[in-house]
Chain A
Amino acid sequence: MQSDVLSILNESEGLDKKVFSLVRLKLLASLAALGPDGATYRELKAALDINDGVLFANLNVLKDMGYLTSEKITSEGKELELYIITSEGQGGWERTRTWLCRFLHCGA
């Protein structure tokens, strides 16, 4: 059993450590479910209850990692920023989620 735990812990070396922040995990989990449809900045802010400074900074980190893209869209005449997960982001999120499940023994 111990060697299993050790191998799971060692597998974490293959993960992107920058993902491991609660805010980034929340953002990736939220955006992965929406796929190419994405979510606007204001939707993420309201639903996840994250303040502007923290949200903006973490969205930019994920963009710099190549995990998200953003584009300007218009909704009912208002210009909004839309955030979409990339295929790299989907892959990164899947690897992280699978590892977390294994780590927590939830049967993934």
Chain B
Amino acid sequence: MEKRKKLIAFFKELGFEFNISRFDDRLIAQKLVCLLELKGIDLGYSCSLYVRGPYSPDLTKDLYAHTREFENLETGTRLTTAEKEAAGELGRIFGLKPILLEVGATYGYYAIRQDCDPLEALRHVKRLKPFYSEAQIAIGISKAKEFLYKPTRKDLEDLKKETSIWQRASLKTLEH
């Protein structure tokens, strides 16, 4: 089975109506692939850093060589439950928004593939995407973290400790 068929199944699951003539659609396709690969889903399109951030030239070749299949969502591949979950999360968190996907994929690439600490990854995103506002970058990064990182038991305990003061305070307020 060709690798593009699995990607088309992801497009279908995400409700992504790809149109090759739209720049934003080509951008969305690239960043979806990079984020899914970073999440550990093997689509067979490896991403590396180019002037457009994390990018897969192999995907570009397939998008142009098999445009009709991508635009008509022609696939016989069924996603596994885990893949469907990943697609659902990706759609819920990023909502097929080009800027957020671009910032998120770029941050994720530096943080995961290049093993940069969060501040260093942020610096790289700002250098590569200076045309996006601070707010767009902040939202994109927070979405990348939400999608790519599963909180550990310790993270959840720390979070509970951190927020318990406010929770108790709000409960007290309700009592009055």
Contact = CB atoms under 8 A, between A and B. Distances in A.
B27 A75 contact: yes
A37 B23 CA distance: 8
B50 A33 contact: yes
Interface string B11-36: 00000000000011011001000000
Interface SS of B by simple majority: helix
A31 B60 CA distance: 12
B64 A35 contact: yes
Contacts of A15: none
Nearest to B51: A47
Nearest to A26: B51
Contacts of B130: 46
Contacts of A80: 23
B128 interface: yes
Given A46-B128, A46-B130, A36 B60 contact: yes
Interface of B: 23-24, 26-27, 30, 50-52, 55, 57, 60-61, 63-64, 98-99, 127-131
